[in-house]
Amino acid sequence: MKKIFNYILAGGLMSVSLTGCVDQLDQMPHIETTSKDVYTSVENYTSVLAKIYASYIMTGQELGGGNSDMSSNTGQDYMRCYYNLQQLGTDEVASTWLDGDLIIDLTYLTWDANDPWVSDMYYRAYYTIALANEFLRNSTDSKLSSFSESDQTILRKFAAEARFLRSLSYYHILDLYRKGPFVTENDPVGVFIPPCYSSVQLFDFIESELKDIAELLPAKNEVIYGHASRGAANTLLAKLYLNAEVYTSKAYYDECIDAANLVIADGYSLEPEYAKLFNADNNNRTNEIIFPFVVDSKTSVSWGSSTYIVCGAMGNSSDFLDPSVYGVTQGWGSFRTRAELPSLFAEGDGRAMFFTEGQTLNVDVMDNQTNGYFVTKWTNLTDAGEASSNTQSFGVDTDFPMFRLADVYLMIAESVARGSGKVSRETAAGYVNQLRERAYGDASGNIASTELTPQLILSERSRELYWEGTRRTDLVRYGMFTTGSYLWEWKGGVRNGKSVDAKFNYYPIPTTELSANPNMTNPEY
């Protein structure tokens, strides 16, 4: 099959068990052999690093999540938790299994500190942070001194990757929760109650880490597929800066463009076919996909990540939609669109990938599968149009493009629309038009530089990035997620939408964490 980055899971070197208390987050994961035995060769370091990468899409040591790493409310992986928190309460998704999947509160923006998905996302992020910290404890100069110089060079690059992955998880904590316990490899192993870092403190740490490691990571033409690159670090830095006003009350739009320009300078370019960015051969789209979560039906079977999106988008009670047309063995019927998403697209926009036969545009009943369009953007098809795997038994082969160049272009355009003069309005509009020319097949959808406004960019972000895990963050940045300035179907749990309390701009620290760590509080919850 396709994957270059090989996840080493079964019988793993790091069979990890983590309890639910963050006062344990700094502890060394429980492993079958000691760290002294594990960190003895480049091969073993490679295996442990693979485990950190796999923590985003897998829940255990075995295929499908068997021999689980940690107990949780839902039993689902990091990426499925993240997707639910970023998408289900927005104008892009209408959820079906409200009670069965325990997602009713996410859907209606009515969650509290006991919500199972809010809790599971929190602990998944900190589990990944704990793995990275342990890797870094064993990557100091003194720990690496016994290796050859060539091996030390390799292992220091691995350490930079671990720092990137830790920064990514801390970024998710910042964006979703606005604060959190702070632990690094420098903190003691054992009984230790981490301090609470504010959003500003987390911002400063992530910024410092990403700026420090960017040049330590490989360039686009050097990176092994699935690993973090210099482009990945600079893309995450650009996203941090784009949302900086939310996190710090200070604008960083010039800095956002600087980071984004570094990504472009690394040689990324748009792929010619939008649809192939989301199929089972999208590992070949390395011109545009900057950093993926790698999913494979043979080496990393998961019922979350992109399997959740691809199979979840296929109706399982429709008389018209045939899942096999999209490479899916059996549809799950998990979600459709709310009316606002398809209404954003003009005629001729090839990104409008919806199945409408037998479906209504409007969602009169949230969990009625005939209400709302199905999304066909994500598939399990190869470039040749064939099913890549038996999704019922092994999930999909479609990687999740966590970062891609289209988002970088739109971050530049938004920064200019919000007042940055780092690039001209003509240049910024040109980036938007590259996306629109791909979408329309010609220049008929192009915009003039005078049309470049924040609101246009918000709509364009949804047209380009829908169902890619960005929508909640975008709406929060625009001040539209909780307020009455923009209402969508079933926002706040009512048919025509309503404003909700501003506290729902972020998620609460789980109740279990409040009991474990006296430094953590939820004043608004």
Domain ranges of the chain: 1-87+112-216
- Alpha-carbon span 488 to 126, nearest angstrom: 33
Q: Does residue 9 surpass a pLDDT of 70?
A: no
Task: Determine contact, residues 214/163, Cβ cutoff 8 Å.
Answer: no
pLDDT tens by residue, 337-390: 999 999 999 999 999 999 999 999 999 999 999 999 999 999 999 999 999 999
Q: Does residue 176 surpass a pLDDT of 60?
A: yes
Cβ count near 387 (within 10 Å): 20
Task: Please state, in angstroms and as integers, the Cα–Cα distance from residue 202 to each residue in 81, 195, 238, following that order.
Answer: 21, 12, 15
pLDDT band at 31, cuts 50/70/90?
A: very low
Angle, CA 269 vertex, CA 267 and CA 274 arms, to 5°:
155
pLDDT tens by residue, 435-488: 999 999 999 999 999 999 999 999 999 999 999 999 999 999 999 999 999 999
- Alpha-carbon span 225 to 18, nearest angstrom: 29
pLDDT tens by residue, 497-521: 999 999 999 999 999 999 999 999 9
Cβ count near 298 (within 10 Å): 13
Choose the weakest-confidence range: 161-175, 177-191, 194-208, 444-458: 177-191
What percent helix, strand, coil does the chain show, rounded to 5?
45, 5, 50
Q: Cα Rg for the chain, rounded, in angstroms?
A: 22
For the chain, the distance separating the N- and C-terminal CA atoms, rounded to the nearest angstrom, is 47
Segment holding 335, helix H or strand E: strand 335-336
pLDDT band at 89, cuts 50/70/90?
A: very high
pLDDT band at 191, cuts 50/70/90?
A: confident
Nearest to 309, CA basis, from 359, 221, 377: 377
Collect all residues with Cβ–Cβ distance below 8 Å to 197 and sequence separation of at least 6: 179, 180, 181, 182, 205
Q: Does residue 33 surpass a pLDDT of 70?
A: no
Q: Does residue 277 surpass a pLDDT of 50?
A: yes
Q: What is the token pair recorded at 248?
A: 């710090």
**If you average pLDDT over residues 3-28, what whole number do you get?**
35
pLDDT at 262: 98
Q: What is the token pair recorded at 310?
A: 């691809």
pLDDT at 74: 86
What are 61's strand-pairing partners?
none
Domain at 1-87+112-216, CATH from 1.10.287.3510, 3.50.50.60, 1.20.1260.10, 1.25.40.390: 1.25.40.390
- Alpha-carbon span 506 to 180, nearest angstrom: 12
pLDDT tens by residue, 47-76: 999 999 999 999 877 666 677 778 888 889
Task: Determine contact, residues 294/7, Cβ cutoff 8 Å.
Answer: yes
Task: Please state, in angstroms and as integers, the Cα–Cα distance from residue 284 to each residue in 142, 226, 429, following that order.
Answer: 39, 11, 28
pLDDT tens by residue, 301-350: 888 889 999 999 999 999 999 999 999 999 999 999 999 999 999 999 99
Please indicate whether residue 4 or residue 452 has the higher confidence score (pLDDT).
452
pLDDT at 10: 27
pLDDT at 63: 67
Helices marked H in 138-252: 141-144, 149-177, 199-213, 230-242, 244-248
- Alpha-carbon span 57 to 136, nearest angstrom: 21
Segment holding 513, helix H or strand E: helix 511-516
Q: Give 352-383 as a DSSP string.
A: --EE-TT-BSS-SSTT-TTBSPEE-SS--B-T
Task: Determine contact, residues 33/40, Cβ cutoff 8 Å.
Answer: no
- Alpha-carbon span 197 to 174, nearest angstrom: 9
Q: Does residue 14 surpass a pLDDT of 60?
A: no
Q: What whole-number percentage of the chain has pLDDT above 70? A: 93
Q: Does residue 412 surpass a pLDDT of 50?
A: yes
pLDDT tens by residue, 92-139: 999 999 999 999 999 999 999 999 999 999 999 999 999 999 999 999
The rounded mean pLDDT for the chain is: 92
The reported pTM is 0.94
